[in-house]
Structure 1
Amino acid sequence: MTSLPQVLAFGGVVMLGAMSPGPDFAVVVRRSAVSGRNLGMATAVGIAAGVFAWAAAAATGLAALVAASAMAFTIVKMVGAAYLLYLGVRALIGAVRGGGAEPDAPEAGRGSPWAAFREGLLCNVLNPKAALFFVALMPQFLSDGAPLGDTLMLSAVALVITTAWFLTVANLVGALRRILARPAARRTIDALSGAALIALGVRLAAVSRP
Protein backbone atom coordinates (compact mmCIF):
# COMPACT_ATOMS: atom_id res chain seq x y z
CA MET A 1 0.00 0.00 0.00
CA THR A 2 1.37 3.39 -1.01
CA SER A 3 1.84 5.61 2.05
CA LEU A 4 0.82 9.25 2.41
CA PRO A 5 4.43 10.55 2.33
CA GLN A 6 4.96 8.64 -0.92
CA VAL A 7 1.80 10.14 -2.41
CA LEU A 8 2.89 13.64 -1.38
CA ALA A 9 6.37 13.11 -2.82
CA PHE A 10 4.88 11.77 -6.05
CA GLY A 11 2.57 14.77 -6.26
CA GLY A 12 5.48 17.15 -5.77
CA VAL A 13 7.45 15.61 -8.63
CA VAL A 14 4.40 15.70 -10.91
CA MET A 15 3.83 19.36 -10.02
CA LEU A 16 7.41 20.23 -10.92
CA GLY A 17 7.02 18.40 -14.23
CA ALA A 18 3.76 20.20 -14.99
CA MET A 19 5.25 23.61 -14.17
CA SER A 20 8.30 23.16 -16.40
CA PRO A 21 8.00 25.13 -19.69
CA GLY A 22 6.97 22.97 -22.62
CA PRO A 23 4.36 22.48 -25.33
CA ASP A 24 1.52 21.94 -22.83
CA PHE A 25 2.17 25.33 -21.23
CA ALA A 26 2.46 27.07 -24.60
CA VAL A 27 -0.79 25.57 -25.87
CA VAL A 28 -2.78 26.52 -22.75
CA VAL A 29 -1.44 30.09 -22.74
CA ARG A 30 -2.22 30.67 -26.39
CA ARG A 31 -5.66 29.07 -26.27
CA SER A 32 -6.60 31.09 -23.16
CA ALA A 33 -5.33 34.35 -24.67
CA VAL A 34 -6.93 33.85 -28.07
CA SER A 35 -10.14 31.99 -27.28
CA GLY A 36 -10.86 32.94 -23.67
CA ARG A 37 -10.84 31.39 -20.24
CA ASN A 38 -13.40 28.63 -20.89
CA LEU A 39 -11.63 27.17 -23.92
CA GLY A 40 -8.31 27.58 -22.13
CA MET A 41 -9.69 25.47 -19.29
CA ALA A 42 -10.96 22.88 -21.78
CA THR A 43 -7.42 22.65 -23.17
CA ALA A 44 -6.08 22.27 -19.63
CA VAL A 45 -8.47 19.38 -18.96
CA GLY A 46 -7.38 17.73 -22.21
CA ILE A 47 -3.74 17.91 -21.13
CA ALA A 48 -4.63 16.47 -17.72
CA ALA A 49 -6.45 13.60 -19.42
CA GLY A 50 -3.30 12.87 -21.40
CA VAL A 51 -1.23 12.90 -18.20
CA PHE A 52 -3.66 10.45 -16.58
CA ALA A 53 -3.38 8.17 -19.61
CA TRP A 54 0.44 8.21 -19.55
CA ALA A 55 0.56 7.65 -15.77
CA ALA A 56 -1.79 4.68 -16.01
CA ALA A 57 0.09 3.34 -19.04
CA ALA A 58 3.40 3.61 -17.17
CA ALA A 59 1.99 1.82 -14.13
CA THR A 60 0.70 -1.04 -16.28
CA GLY A 61 3.83 -1.28 -18.43
CA LEU A 62 2.33 0.02 -21.67
CA ALA A 63 4.36 3.23 -21.63
CA ALA A 64 7.51 1.20 -21.05
CA LEU A 65 6.74 -0.74 -24.24
CA VAL A 66 6.50 2.54 -26.16
CA ALA A 67 9.79 3.73 -24.68
CA ALA A 68 11.51 0.40 -25.35
CA SER A 69 10.24 -0.12 -28.90
CA ALA A 70 12.26 1.89 -31.40
CA MET A 71 9.44 1.83 -33.95
CA ALA A 72 6.68 2.80 -31.49
CA PHE A 73 8.80 5.54 -29.96
CA THR A 74 9.69 6.96 -33.38
CA ILE A 75 6.07 6.91 -34.57
CA VAL A 76 4.78 8.71 -31.48
CA LYS A 77 7.69 11.14 -31.64
CA MET A 78 7.25 12.06 -35.29
CA VAL A 79 3.46 12.36 -35.09
CA GLY A 80 3.83 14.51 -31.99
CA ALA A 81 6.47 16.70 -33.63
CA ALA A 82 4.27 17.12 -36.71
CA TYR A 83 1.34 18.13 -34.51
CA LEU A 84 3.39 20.75 -32.68
CA LEU A 85 4.64 22.11 -36.01
CA TYR A 86 1.05 22.27 -37.22
CA LEU A 87 -0.02 24.22 -34.12
CA GLY A 88 2.99 26.51 -34.48
CA VAL A 89 2.37 27.27 -38.14
CA ARG A 90 -1.31 27.89 -37.40
CA ALA A 91 -0.34 30.38 -34.69
CA LEU A 92 2.05 32.18 -37.05
CA ILE A 93 -0.69 32.39 -39.68
CA GLY A 94 -2.90 33.94 -37.00
CA ALA A 95 -0.19 36.51 -36.30
CA VAL A 96 0.12 37.39 -40.00
CA ARG A 97 -3.65 37.73 -40.28
CA GLY A 98 -3.74 40.24 -37.49
CA GLY A 99 -3.56 38.16 -34.30
CA GLY A 100 -6.02 35.74 -32.78
CA ALA A 101 -7.73 34.59 -35.96
CA GLU A 102 -7.66 30.82 -36.24
CA PRO A 103 -7.22 29.69 -39.87
CA ASP A 104 -9.80 26.93 -39.40
CA ALA A 105 -12.33 28.51 -37.02
CA PRO A 106 -14.92 31.29 -37.26
CA GLU A 107 -13.85 34.61 -35.75
CA ALA A 108 -16.84 34.69 -33.40
CA GLY A 109 -16.38 31.37 -31.64
CA ARG A 110 -12.73 30.54 -32.32
CA GLY A 111 -13.37 26.85 -31.76
CA SER A 112 -15.42 24.68 -29.45
CA PRO A 113 -14.71 23.19 -26.01
CA TRP A 114 -14.26 19.78 -27.63
CA ALA A 115 -11.72 21.16 -30.13
CA ALA A 116 -9.82 22.84 -27.28
CA PHE A 117 -9.93 19.64 -25.19
CA ARG A 118 -8.69 17.61 -28.15
CA GLU A 119 -5.86 20.06 -28.77
CA GLY A 120 -4.63 19.65 -25.19
CA LEU A 121 -5.08 15.88 -25.20
CA LEU A 122 -3.17 15.35 -28.44
CA CYS A 123 -0.43 17.75 -27.40
CA ASN A 124 0.28 15.59 -24.33
CA VAL A 125 -0.48 12.09 -25.62
CA LEU A 126 1.69 12.58 -28.71
CA ASN A 127 4.70 13.57 -26.61
CA PRO A 128 6.88 10.51 -25.90
CA LYS A 129 8.82 12.57 -23.36
CA ALA A 130 5.74 12.31 -21.15
CA ALA A 131 5.99 8.52 -21.46
CA LEU A 132 9.66 8.61 -20.47
CA PHE A 133 8.85 10.85 -17.51
CA PHE A 134 6.27 8.47 -16.06
CA VAL A 135 8.21 5.33 -16.97
CA ALA A 136 11.05 6.68 -14.82
CA LEU A 137 8.77 8.00 -12.07
CA MET A 138 6.08 5.37 -11.43
CA PRO A 139 8.41 2.47 -10.44
CA GLN A 140 9.85 4.69 -7.71
CA PHE A 141 6.46 4.72 -6.00
CA LEU A 142 4.90 1.41 -7.07
CA SER A 143 6.47 -1.92 -6.17
CA ASP A 144 6.20 -4.98 -8.40
CA GLY A 145 2.75 -6.46 -8.13
CA ALA A 146 1.27 -3.28 -6.61
CA PRO A 147 -2.54 -3.44 -6.27
CA LEU A 148 -4.71 -1.77 -8.88
CA GLY A 149 -5.93 0.69 -6.25
CA ASP A 150 -2.43 2.13 -5.81
CA THR A 151 -2.02 2.50 -9.57
CA LEU A 152 -5.33 4.30 -9.93
CA MET A 153 -4.61 6.49 -6.90
CA LEU A 154 -1.27 7.75 -8.23
CA SER A 155 -2.75 8.24 -11.70
CA ALA A 156 -5.59 10.23 -10.11
CA VAL A 157 -3.07 12.33 -8.16
CA ALA A 158 -1.28 13.15 -11.42
CA LEU A 159 -4.62 14.04 -13.00
CA VAL A 160 -5.71 16.33 -10.15
CA ILE A 161 -2.38 18.15 -9.85
CA THR A 162 -2.01 18.71 -13.59
CA THR A 163 -5.62 19.87 -13.87
CA ALA A 164 -5.19 22.31 -10.97
CA TRP A 165 -1.98 23.79 -12.40
CA PHE A 166 -3.16 24.28 -15.96
CA LEU A 167 -6.60 25.55 -14.86
CA THR A 168 -4.72 28.15 -12.81
CA VAL A 169 -2.68 29.13 -15.88
CA ALA A 170 -5.82 29.32 -18.04
CA ASN A 171 -7.63 31.51 -15.50
CA LEU A 172 -4.68 33.85 -15.00
CA VAL A 173 -4.23 34.35 -18.73
CA GLY A 174 -8.00 34.60 -19.20
CA ALA A 175 -8.19 37.32 -16.56
CA LEU A 176 -5.75 39.37 -18.64
CA ARG A 177 -7.67 38.82 -21.84
CA ARG A 178 -8.97 42.40 -21.98
CA ILE A 179 -5.37 43.56 -22.28
CA LEU A 180 -4.39 40.66 -24.50
CA ALA A 181 -7.36 41.31 -26.82
CA ARG A 182 -5.57 44.25 -28.39
CA PRO A 183 -4.47 43.39 -31.95
CA ALA A 184 -0.80 44.15 -31.25
CA ALA A 185 -0.86 41.91 -28.16
CA ARG A 186 -2.62 39.14 -30.08
CA ARG A 187 -0.06 39.29 -32.86
CA THR A 188 2.77 39.12 -30.34
CA ILE A 189 1.22 36.14 -28.52
CA ASP A 190 0.59 34.30 -31.76
CA ALA A 191 4.09 35.01 -33.06
CA LEU A 192 5.85 34.00 -29.83
CA SER A 193 3.73 30.91 -29.17
CA GLY A 194 4.00 29.86 -32.82
CA ALA A 195 7.77 30.16 -32.77
CA ALA A 196 7.93 28.30 -29.44
CA LEU A 197 5.73 25.45 -30.67
CA ILE A 198 7.76 25.08 -33.87
CA ALA A 199 11.00 25.03 -31.87
CA LEU A 200 9.53 22.43 -29.48
CA GLY A 201 8.37 20.34 -32.43
CA VAL A 202 11.84 20.40 -33.98
CA ARG A 203 13.41 19.51 -30.64
CA LEU A 204 10.94 16.67 -30.12
CA ALA A 205 11.77 15.26 -33.56
CA ALA A 206 15.42 15.16 -32.54
CA VAL A 207 14.78 13.30 -29.25
CA SER A 208 16.30 9.83 -29.10
CA ARG A 209 15.46 6.93 -26.81
CA PRO A 210 17.60 6.79 -23.65
Structure 2
Amino acid sequence: MSFWPEFLMIASVHLLAVASPGPDFAIVLRYAVRFGRRAAIFASLGIGLAILLHVTYSLVGIGVIIKTTPWLFQLLTVLAAGYLLYLAQGALRAQAPSAGDAVALEQQTRPAGLKAFTAGFITNGLNPKATLFFLSLFAVIISAETPFSYKVIYGIYMALATASWFCLLSFLLTNSKIRGFLLLKGYWFDRLMGVLLLALAVKLLFSSFVDGS
Protein backbone atom coordinates (compact mmCIF):
# COMPACT_ATOMS: atom_id res chain seq x y z
CA MET A 1 0.00 0.00 0.00
CA SER A 2 1.04 3.63 -0.44
CA PHE A 3 2.79 5.15 2.56
CA TRP A 4 2.55 8.88 1.86
CA PRO A 5 -1.23 9.44 1.53
CA GLU A 6 -1.88 7.74 4.86
CA PHE A 7 1.05 9.52 6.50
CA LEU A 8 -0.10 12.93 5.29
CA MET A 9 -3.61 12.25 6.59
CA ILE A 10 -2.23 11.25 9.99
CA ALA A 11 0.08 14.28 10.09
CA SER A 12 -2.81 16.64 9.31
CA VAL A 13 -5.14 15.17 11.93
CA HIS A 14 -2.36 15.10 14.51
CA LEU A 15 -1.43 18.73 13.82
CA LEU A 16 -5.00 19.85 14.46
CA ALA A 17 -5.14 17.81 17.66
CA VAL A 18 -1.82 18.95 19.10
CA ALA A 19 -2.47 22.63 18.28
CA SER A 20 -5.82 22.71 20.08
CA PRO A 21 -5.71 24.05 23.67
CA GLY A 22 -5.81 21.43 26.38
CA PRO A 23 -3.91 20.14 29.43
CA ASP A 24 -0.62 19.88 27.50
CA PHE A 25 -0.81 23.50 26.39
CA ALA A 26 -1.69 24.61 29.92
CA ILE A 27 1.29 22.77 31.41
CA VAL A 28 3.78 24.19 28.92
CA LEU A 29 2.40 27.71 29.35
CA ARG A 30 2.58 27.43 33.13
CA TYR A 31 6.19 26.23 33.16
CA ALA A 32 7.20 28.81 30.55
CA VAL A 33 5.73 31.63 32.63
CA ARG A 34 6.81 30.41 36.03
CA PHE A 35 10.18 28.76 35.40
CA GLY A 36 11.33 29.87 31.97
CA ARG A 37 12.35 28.31 28.67
CA ARG A 38 14.42 25.40 29.97
CA ALA A 39 11.63 24.05 32.17
CA ALA A 40 9.03 24.54 29.41
CA ILE A 41 11.20 22.59 26.96
CA PHE A 42 11.60 19.75 29.48
CA ALA A 43 7.82 19.68 29.89
CA SER A 44 7.48 19.58 26.10
CA LEU A 45 9.86 16.64 25.87
CA GLY A 46 7.87 14.80 28.54
CA ILE A 47 4.67 15.36 26.56
CA GLY A 48 6.35 14.09 23.40
CA LEU A 49 7.66 10.94 25.11
CA ALA A 50 4.21 10.20 26.51
CA ILE A 51 2.91 10.04 22.92
CA LEU A 52 5.00 6.89 22.50
CA LEU A 53 3.15 5.42 25.48
CA HIS A 54 -0.19 5.93 23.73
CA VAL A 55 1.18 4.58 20.46
CA THR A 56 2.61 1.50 22.18
CA TYR A 57 -0.60 0.41 23.88
CA SER A 58 -2.55 1.15 20.70
CA LEU A 59 -0.22 -1.13 18.73
CA VAL A 60 -0.34 -4.01 21.22
CA GLY A 61 -4.08 -3.75 21.89
CA ILE A 62 -4.00 -2.55 25.50
CA GLY A 63 -5.82 0.61 24.47
CA VAL A 64 -8.82 -1.42 23.37
CA ILE A 65 -8.93 -3.09 26.79
CA ILE A 66 -8.87 0.33 28.48
CA LYS A 67 -11.66 1.63 26.27
CA THR A 68 -13.88 -1.45 26.62
CA THR A 69 -13.42 -1.75 30.40
CA PRO A 70 -15.51 1.11 31.84
CA TRP A 71 -14.12 1.00 35.37
CA LEU A 72 -10.53 1.01 34.10
CA PHE A 73 -11.14 3.94 31.76
CA GLN A 74 -12.95 5.81 34.54
CA LEU A 75 -10.03 5.16 36.89
CA LEU A 76 -7.64 6.61 34.30
CA THR A 77 -9.90 9.66 34.00
CA VAL A 78 -10.04 10.18 37.78
CA LEU A 79 -6.26 9.86 38.08
CA ALA A 80 -5.79 12.43 35.30
CA ALA A 81 -8.28 14.82 36.91
CA GLY A 82 -6.64 14.38 40.30
CA TYR A 83 -3.23 15.23 38.89
CA LEU A 84 -4.61 18.33 37.15
CA LEU A 85 -6.22 19.40 40.44
CA TYR A 86 -2.86 18.96 42.18
CA LEU A 87 -1.18 21.21 39.61
CA ALA A 88 -4.06 23.69 39.72
CA GLN A 89 -3.88 24.26 43.46
CA GLY A 90 -0.19 25.10 43.20
CA ALA A 91 -0.81 27.53 40.35
CA LEU A 92 -3.73 29.24 42.08
CA ARG A 93 -1.53 30.04 45.09
CA ALA A 94 1.01 31.97 43.00
CA GLN A 95 1.94 35.25 44.64
CA ALA A 96 3.06 38.56 43.15
CA PRO A 97 6.86 38.82 43.42
CA SER A 98 8.77 41.89 44.47
CA ALA A 99 11.27 43.43 42.07
CA GLY A 100 14.09 41.59 43.82
CA ASP A 101 12.29 38.28 43.45
CA ALA A 102 12.64 38.42 39.66
CA VAL A 103 16.25 37.28 39.97
CA ALA A 104 15.21 34.45 42.27
CA LEU A 105 12.55 33.37 39.80
CA GLU A 106 15.11 33.37 37.02
CA GLN A 107 17.33 31.08 39.10
CA GLN A 108 14.44 28.67 39.65
CA THR A 109 14.72 27.55 36.04
CA ARG A 110 17.80 25.43 36.83
CA PRO A 111 16.42 22.68 39.09
CA ALA A 112 12.97 22.47 37.51
CA GLY A 113 13.92 20.27 34.53
CA LEU A 114 13.10 16.80 35.85
CA LYS A 115 9.97 18.02 37.60
CA ALA A 116 8.77 19.74 34.42
CA PHE A 117 9.54 16.66 32.32
CA THR A 118 7.60 14.46 34.73
CA ALA A 119 4.67 16.88 34.76
CA GLY A 120 4.51 16.88 30.97
CA PHE A 121 4.77 13.10 30.75
CA ILE A 122 2.12 12.40 33.38
CA THR A 123 -0.27 15.05 32.08
CA ASN A 124 -0.26 13.60 28.57
CA GLY A 125 0.13 9.97 29.62
CA LEU A 126 -2.96 10.07 31.87
CA ASN A 127 -5.06 12.15 29.47
CA PRO A 128 -8.06 9.97 28.51
CA LYS A 129 -8.76 12.21 25.51
CA ALA A 130 -5.33 11.30 24.16
CA THR A 131 -6.20 7.65 24.73
CA LEU A 132 -9.37 7.98 22.67
CA PHE A 133 -7.57 10.01 19.99
CA PHE A 134 -4.93 7.37 19.35
CA LEU A 135 -7.42 4.52 19.49
CA SER A 136 -9.52 6.31 16.88
CA LEU A 137 -6.45 7.09 14.81
CA PHE A 138 -5.30 3.48 14.68
CA ALA A 139 -8.82 2.15 14.16
CA VAL A 140 -10.17 4.59 11.57
CA ILE A 141 -7.34 6.28 9.66
CA ILE A 142 -4.59 3.69 9.80
CA SER A 143 -5.51 0.67 7.70
CA ALA A 144 -5.41 -2.83 9.18
CA GLU A 145 -3.15 -3.77 6.24
CA THR A 146 -0.59 -1.10 7.11
CA PRO A 147 2.73 -2.80 7.95
CA PHE A 148 3.77 -2.72 11.59
CA SER A 149 6.98 -0.88 10.64
CA TYR A 150 4.90 1.93 9.10
CA LYS A 151 2.85 2.23 12.29
CA VAL A 152 6.04 2.55 14.32
CA ILE A 153 7.22 5.32 11.99
CA TYR A 154 3.87 7.10 12.43
CA GLY A 155 4.22 6.86 16.20
CA ILE A 156 7.78 8.19 16.25
CA TYR A 157 6.76 11.04 13.96
CA MET A 158 3.84 12.05 16.20
CA ALA A 159 6.05 11.97 19.29
CA LEU A 160 8.71 14.14 17.63
CA ALA A 161 6.14 16.48 16.09
CA THR A 162 4.39 16.94 19.44
CA ALA A 163 7.63 17.66 21.28
CA SER A 164 8.74 20.04 18.51
CA TRP A 165 5.45 21.94 18.57
CA PHE A 166 5.57 22.53 22.30
CA CYS A 167 9.29 23.35 22.23
CA LEU A 168 8.51 26.01 19.61
CA LEU A 169 5.73 27.26 21.86
CA SER A 170 8.21 27.37 24.74
CA PHE A 171 10.54 29.60 22.73
CA LEU A 172 7.73 31.92 21.73
CA LEU A 173 6.43 32.23 25.28
CA THR A 174 9.87 32.99 26.71
CA ASN A 175 11.08 35.49 24.15
CA SER A 176 13.58 37.86 25.77
CA LYS A 177 11.37 40.88 25.08
CA ILE A 178 8.62 39.54 27.30
CA ARG A 179 10.74 37.57 29.81
CA GLY A 180 11.02 40.43 32.27
CA PHE A 181 7.31 41.09 32.08
CA LEU A 182 6.49 37.43 32.67
CA LEU A 183 8.82 37.24 35.66
CA LEU A 184 7.07 40.14 37.38
CA LYS A 185 3.50 39.70 36.11
CA GLY A 186 3.58 35.98 35.38
CA TYR A 187 1.73 35.13 38.58
CA TRP A 188 -1.46 36.32 36.87
CA PHE A 189 -0.84 33.83 34.07
CA ASP A 190 -0.04 31.22 36.70
CA ARG A 191 -3.38 31.83 38.38
CA LEU A 192 -5.15 31.80 35.02
CA MET A 193 -3.54 28.44 34.25
CA GLY A 194 -4.67 27.25 37.65
CA VAL A 195 -8.26 28.13 36.74
CA LEU A 196 -7.86 26.44 33.36
CA LEU A 197 -6.38 23.28 34.91
CA LEU A 198 -9.17 23.26 37.48
CA ALA A 199 -11.79 23.59 34.73
CA LEU A 200 -10.17 20.79 32.73
CA ALA A 201 -10.14 18.53 35.79
CA VAL A 202 -13.81 19.22 36.53
CA LYS A 203 -14.70 18.65 32.88
CA LEU A 204 -12.87 15.31 32.91
CA LEU A 205 -14.65 14.17 36.07
CA PHE A 206 -18.04 15.36 34.84
CA SER A 207 -17.73 13.64 31.45
CA SER A 208 -16.46 10.49 33.14
CA PHE A 209 -19.40 10.14 35.51
CA VAL A 210 -21.97 11.22 32.92
CA ASP A 211 -20.67 8.72 30.38
CA GLY A 212 -20.34 6.06 33.02
CA SER A 213 -23.87 6.48 34.34
Normalised TM-score (structure 1): 0.88
**What is the CA–CA distance in structure 2 between the aligned matches of 1:2 and 1:174, rounded to whole Å?**
41
Can you list the C-alpha shifts for 1:4-32, whole angstroms capped at 9, x where unaligned? 12111101111110011111001101101
2:139 is the alignment partner of 1:139: yes
Can you list the C-alpha shifts for 1:67-105, whole angstroms capped at 9, x where unaligned? 1111210111001000001101100112xx3269xxxxx
**What is the CA–CA distance in structure 2 between the aligned matches of 1:150 and 1:15, rounded to whole Å?**
19
Query: Which SS does the other structure have where 1:207 is aligned?
Result: helix
Q: Give the equivalent residue in structure 1 for 2:101.
A: none
Q: Give the equivalent residue in structure 2 for 1:49.
A: 49
Can you list the C-alpha shifts for 1:100-122, whole angstroms capped at 9, x where unaligned? 9xxxxx95425431111000000
* Aligned-CA RMSD value: 2.0
Residues 132/99 of structure 1: CA separation in 2 closer, same or farther (3 Å cut): farther
Stretches of 4+ aligned residues off by more than 6 angstroms: none
Of all paired residues, the percent bearing the same amino acid is 29
Contact persistence 2:34–2:187 (CA under 8 A) = no
2:73 is the alignment partner of 1:78: no
Q: Give the equivalent residue in structure 1 for 2:158.
A: 158
Q: How many residues align?
A: 201
Q: 5+ residue gaps in structure 1?
A: 101-105
One of 75, 96, 103 as aligned partner of 1:98: 96
**What is the CA–CA distance in structure 1 between the aligned matches of 2:82 and 2:88, rounded to whole Å?**
10
Contact persistence 2:44–2:167 (CA under 8 A) = yes
Q: 5+ residue gaps in structure 2?
A: 99-103
Normalised TM-score (structure 2): 0.87
Q: Which amino acid aligns with 2:186?
A: R
Query: Which SS does the other structure have where 1:43 is aligned?
Result: helix
Q: Give the equivalent residue in structure 2 for 1:177.
A: 179
Q: Give the equivalent residue in structure 1 for 2:108.
A: 109
Q: Give the equivalent residue in structure 2 for 1:123.
A: 123
Contact persistence 1:55–1:158 (CA under 8 A) = no
Q: Which amino acid aligns with 1:140?
A: V
Can you list the C-alpha shifts for 1:153-210, whole angstroms capped at 9, x where unaligned? 110121121111111111101113222111xx22211110000000000101122359
Q: How many angstroms does 1:65 deviate by?
A: 1.3
Q: Which amino acid aligns with 1:92?
A: L
**What is the CA–CA distance in structure 1 between the aligned matches of 2:57 and 2:14, rounded to whole Å?**
15
Contact persistence 1:31–1:40 (CA under 8 A) = yes
**What is the CA–CA distance in structure 1 between the aligned matches of 2:193 and 2:163, rounded to whole Å?**
21
2:43 is the alignment partner of 1:28: no
**What is the CA–CA distance in structure 2 between the aligned matches of 1:186 and 1:29, rounded to whole Å?**
10
**What is the CA–CA distance in structure 1 between the aligned matches of 2:179 and 2:6, rounded to whole Å?**
39
| Structure index of larger Rg | 2
Contact persistence 1:88–1:195 (CA under 8 A) = yes
- Name the structure where helix makes up a greater proportion of residues: 2
Contact persistence 1:67–1:128 (CA under 8 A) = no
